Amino acid sequence: MLTVNLRIGIAEIALAISLVLVAALMALFVIEWPVGLIPAASYAVATVGTYAGYRVHSREQVDASRLAELEGESVKFRVVHTMGTCPLGHSTGDVIAVNASGSVEPVVCPEAEAMLQMAARDGHVARWCCPIYDHMLIFRKEAVAA
């Protein structure tokens, strides 16, 4: 079964009216004043660009509100293996948490912090490793309790 999720709001109605107006003006300009196609086409590009910017902005607002809802939640990683000695003293069995704002507790090196932040956003890969080979830590994402 095909489901269509169609959302028509003020911005979509304004876009439709503007595009119909531009189409009518372009049809008129082709016959009466061909040079008038230039401002009509630039108006059409500006209208579509403005609408696209509005949609990106509204999508980012929705993402930000979802992030605010998850503010208290964090993703936890357990160190399951080490290769070498971590300069910050992390070893097998340590648990490191990345909260929704991206801060990492306890402190890890900047390379491992960037990797853990990326791992917290990715839901598909279960194991990640520190990019510094000399003191590489291998992390496993902890299961989330239901």
Q: Is 86 exposed, middle or buried, given 0-12, 13-18 or 19+ CB atoms closer than 10 A?
A: buried
39: preceding bond cis by omega (within 30 degrees): no
Tokens of 89: 């003293």
pTM: 0.48
CA distance 78 to 86: 14
| pLDDT tens digit sequence for 20-74 | 988 888 888 787 888 888 888 888 899 899 999 988 888 888 776 665 555 557 8
Q: 22-33: per-residue pLDDT in tens?
A: 888 888 878 788
